[in-house]
Amino acid sequence: MQTSSTKKLYIPKYPKLIIDTLKKAGFDAYIVGGCVRDELIGKKPSDYDITTNAKPVDIKKIFKKTIDTGIKHGTVSVIFYDNGKPRVYEVTTYRVDGEYDDARHPKNVVFVDDLKEDLRRRDFTINAMAYNDDKGLVDEFDGRGDLTKKIVRAVGNPYDRFGEDALRILRAVRFAAKLGFDIESETKKAIPFFAKNLSLISKERIQVELTKILTSDNPMYIRLAYDLGLAKYICDGFDRIKLGHVEKNLPVYLAYAALLYNMESDFAYNFLKDLKLDNVTIDRVVALISAKAYYKRILKLSKHQDLTIKYNGLDALIKESIDYLKYDLIYDFIYLLRMNGENLKVITFYEEKVRFFAGRKIPIFIKDLKINGNDLIEIGFIGEEIGAALKNLQKIVHNNYKLNDKKLLQDIAKKAYNIYKSI
């Protein structure tokens, strides 16, 4: 086996404990995949996976607390409690994949005794390395060389590998984006032959990879999906996106909002639904995209008016936009405008206003009004009239916060009520 002990890699406490415990029980075990790759290039691994010749039944006997995460595929999660906080590690038996079904899933997996066989079924050379302190780095496919060359290369014949599982195509883009690497030329050449098989892959799996690309260090590598001819197979509407500018390492919702910045909110909604994103993320993205309408109005008004004038109607509009996005999202929205190169002077003005309103606790939301639904019921409003009246009073207060006084608002509401009833 190709091992090299030139460099000692760091293995954190619990993965080390798992490896040592398995070793004491007579098994071999290694950290494997992404964590080895990341350790070698000095990136912090997102998690540590362990591979072993112990079978799931053995793993379950050896460790106190386990969960059958993917027992059919040989994966058992081992859990430790660190000050009451659960720490979960996936421990997987050396395996090879059986025959592939529809370019998607292996029909079955077969456990094997040889680590090399397990490494061979992995997607890219940089992901096909294992390490433990006894054996050092196990690198059968020159993953370390490819890390130095900064390339993503399929393990073995790329035509076979993409033919088995088309998701690997998108994963190639994902690792290129994560690491700022190129896709090796033979691997790249094979991609167009299998691109259409991406449409057979579940949207959940596609979404995981897409999200990782968009939140990576190089999100604009998403262009590779277009250059490689993947766009029309990734998900509904993907090929119609006029790409917005996505900065690196954004939270998921903001990365999607940036990607979809040039699109309408209906499009964004359908696109994200198709991708099976969670509803909280979808709601945020759609709100951020819809809020562009406020920016357009702010931009238009500010063109006609001097931004240094104290009152010019812009304040009310800005307050309305805060009411729509809440303080949770308004700063993200301003960030989004900046990312996409909107008018810097207007954005600066907008942000200063928002910060001023927030700092002074200027009334923005209906809950900030000194009048509430019960006060309106006392005046005589009923049913839907109450909400509508509160909205109108909110507008009045947006125009002049000094009017946020219970007595004043009651008087305004009474007058409105009398006029309303007399017609």
- Nearest distance from residue 413's CB to ligand ATP, in Å? 57
Task: Report the sign of the C-alpha dihedral through residues 345, 349, 355, 356, in that order.
Answer: positive
Residue 10's alpha-carbon distances to 45, 47, 376, in angstroms, are 11, 13, 66
Q: Residue 56: which of Mg ion, ligand ATP, none does it interact with, CB under 5 to 8 A by kind?
A: none
Looking only at residues 196 through 255 of this chain, which bind ligand ATP when binding is defined by CB under 6 A? Answer: 212
- Binding residues for ligand ATP, rule CB under 6 A, total 12
- Nearest distance from residue 168's CB to ligand ATP, in Å? 5
Helix, coil or strand: residue 263: coil
- Does 167 contact ligand ATP by CB under 6 A? yes
- Does 15 contact ligand ATP by CB under 6 A? no
Angle at which helix 314-339 crosses helix 279-290, to 10 degrees, equals 120
- Nearest distance from residue 71's CB to ligand ATP, in Å? 17
Choose the stretch contacting ligand ATP; rule: CB under 6 A; options: 62-70, 162-170, 270-278, 307-315: 162-170
Helix (H) or strand (E) holding 421: helix 406-422
- Does 46 contact ligand ATP by CB under 6 A? yes
Determine the Cα–Cα distance for residues 223 and 229; give it in Å rounded to an integer.
10
- ∠ Cα 259 261 263 (to 5°): 105
Beta strands in 33-97 (DSSP E): 49-52, 66-70, 75-82, 85-93, 95-97
- Does 122 contact ligand ATP by CB under 6 A? yes
Determine the Cα–Cα distance for residues 261 and 245; give it in Å rounded to an integer.
8
- Nearest distance from residue 323's CB to Mg ion, in Å? 41
Beta strands in 198-345 (DSSP E): none
- Does 34 contact ligand ATP by CB under 6 A? yes
Q: Which of 60, 144, 168, 353 binds ligand ATP (CB under 6 A)?
A: 168
- Nearest distance from residue 125's CB to ligand ATP, in Å? 10
Residue 399 sits at φ, ψ, to 5 deg, of: -75, -30
Q: Which residue number, 92 or 132, has a Cβ lying nearer to Mg ion?
A: 92
Determine the Cα–Cα distance for residues 285 and 259; give it in Å rounded to an integer.
10
Asked whether 159 and 37 are in contact (CB, 8 A), the reply is no
- Does 127 contact ligand ATP by CB under 6 A? yes
A 10 A CB-CB count for 311 gives 9
Q: Residue 342: which of Mg ion, ligand ATP, none does it interact with, CB under 5 to 8 A by kind?
A: none
What contacts 255, CB < 8 A, 6 or more positions away? 211, 214, 215, 219, 246
Q: Residue 244: which of Mg ion, ligand ATP, none does it interact with, CB under 5 to 8 A by kind?
A: none
Choose the stretch contacting ligand ATP; rule: CB under 6 A; options: 73-81, 121-129, 183-191, 317-325: 121-129
Q: Which residue type is seen at 349? A: F
Q: Which residue number, 128 or 214, has a Cβ lying nearer to ligand ATP?
A: 128
Determine the Cα–Cα distance for residues 134 and 157; give it in Å rounded to an integer.
31
Q: Residue 244: which of 344, 338, 314 has the closest Cα?
A: 338
User: Exposure pattern of 56-73 as b/e (b: 16+ CB <10 Å)?
Assistant: bebbbebbeebeeeebeb
- Does 34 contact Mg ion by CB under 5 A? yes
Helix, coil or strand: residue 114: coil
Q: Residue 122: which of Mg ion, ligand ATP, none does it interact with, CB under 5 to 8 A by kind?
A: ligand ATP
Determine the Cα–Cα distance for residues 182 and 213; give it in Å rounded to an integer.
14
Q: Give the x-and-dash track for 64-103 against ligand ATP (CB under 6 A).
A: ----------------------------------------
Residue least distant from Mg ion (Cβ): 34
Q: Which residue number, 148 or 400, has a Cβ lying nearer to ligand ATP?
A: 148
Q: Residue 165: which of Mg ion, ligand ATP, none does it interact with, CB under 5 to 8 A by kind?
A: ligand ATP
Q: Residue 90: which of Mg ion, ligand ATP, none does it interact with, CB under 5 to 8 A by kind?
A: none
Residue least distant from ligand ATP (Cβ): 34
Asked whether 62 and 22 are in contact (CB, 8 A), the reply is yes
Q: Which residue number, 201 or 277, has a Cβ lying nearer to ligand ATP?
A: 201
Q: Which residue number, 34 or 219, has a Cβ lying nearer to Mg ion?
A: 34
Q: Which of 28, 140, 146, 165 binds ligand ATP (CB under 6 A)?
A: 165
Residues that bind ligand ATP (CB under 6 A): 33-34, 46, 49, 122-123, 127-128, 165, 167-168, 212
Residues that bind Mg ion (CB under 5 A): 34
